C-alpha cells in the first residue's frame, strides 16, 4: 500500500473514532448543555442573535429540530425571542444573561480540557494541526 493511502486510512479511522465518541464525551462533561445546544447557543452569542431558520441552514438541521432545541433552551432560561418588528413571522433569538453565563462557563471548561489534552504539544505542531483541521473541514463543507 502506498504511503499516501496509509495516511488517508489513518485519517479516516481517527476521524471516525473521534466522531463516535464526541457527543457522549461532551454530554458527560457538560450535562447542562449538549453538544448541539452548546453549538446553537454559541452561534447566537457569536452572531449577536439570529433566526431559527439561519441556525437550521447553517447546521443542516431540520427547522423542527431547531424549533425544539430552542424551545428547550428557552425553557432553561438560556435563550429569549424578540419578534422582528419589520416581519412578524420572524423571531430573533438571543442568549439571555443566564444563557451567556452558562455558555461562557462551558466554553471555558471545554477550553481547559483541550489545553490539558494538548499540553505536551509544541507550538509548531499545534499550529499545523489547527491549520490541517481547518483545511479539512473547509473541504468537507463544500461537499455537505
Partner DNA sequence: TCCATTGCGTTGTACTATACAACTACTTCA
Partner DNA sequence: TGAAGTAGTTGTATAGTACAACGCAATGGA
* CA 39 to mean position of chain CA atoms: 3
Q: Which of residues 98-117 bind DNA (CB under 7 A)?
A: none
Q: Which 8-state DSSP code applies to residue 61?
A: -
Asked if residue 57 binds a second copy (CB under 8 A), the reply is no
- We find the least distance from the C-beta atom of residue 22 to a second copy, in angstroms, to be 3
Contact segment (CB under 7 A) with DNA among 3-11, 85-93, 119-127, 133-141 equals: 85-93
Query: Contact region for a second copy (CB under 8 A) — 1-9, 75-83, 86-94, 98-106?
Result: 1-9
Residue 144: which of a second copy, DNA, none does it interact with, CB under 5 to 8 A by kind?
a second copy
Nearer to a second copy, 82 or 128 (CB): 128
> What is the side-by-side order of every strand in the sheet holding 79-83?
50-51, 91-95, 79-83
Of 16 and 101, the one with the shorter C-beta distance to a second copy is 16
The rounded distance, in Å, linking the Cα atoms of 124 and 128 is: 6
* Spatial CA neighbour of 93 closest among 140, 45, 58: 45
Q: How far is the CB of 28 from DNA (least distance, A)?
A: 9
The three-class DSSP label of residue 104 is helix
Spatial separation of the C-alpha atoms in residues 102 and 22, rounded to whole Å:
20
Give the binding site for DNA (CB under 7 A): 24, 34, 36-37, 51-53, 60-65, 67-72, 86-91
Amino acid at each position: 500500500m502506498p504511503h499516501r493511502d496509509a495516511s488517508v486510512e489513518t485519517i479516516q479511522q481517527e476521524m471516525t473514532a473521534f466522531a463516535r465518541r464526541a457527543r457522549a464525551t461532551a454530554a458527560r462533561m457538560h450535562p447542562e448543555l449538549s453538544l448541539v445546544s452548546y453549538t446553537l447557543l454559541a452561534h447566537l452569542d457569536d452572531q449577536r442573535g439570529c433566526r431559527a431558520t439561519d441556525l437550521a441552514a447553517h447546521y443542516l438541521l431540520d427547522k423542527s429540530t431547531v424549533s425544539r432545541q430552542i424551545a428547550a433552551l428557552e425553557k432553561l432560561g438560556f435563550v429569549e425571542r424578540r419578534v422582528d418588528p419589520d416581519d412578524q413571522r420572524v423571531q430573533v433569538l438571543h442568549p439571555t444573561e443566564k444563557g451567556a453565563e452558562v455558555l461562557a462557563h462551558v466554553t471555558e471548561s471545554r477550553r481547559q480540557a483541550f489545553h490539558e489534552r494538548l499540553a505536551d504539544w509544541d507550538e509548531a505542531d499545534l499550529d499545523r494541526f489547527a491549520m490541517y483541521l481547518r483545511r479539512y473541514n473547509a473541504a468537507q463543507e463544500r461537499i455537505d
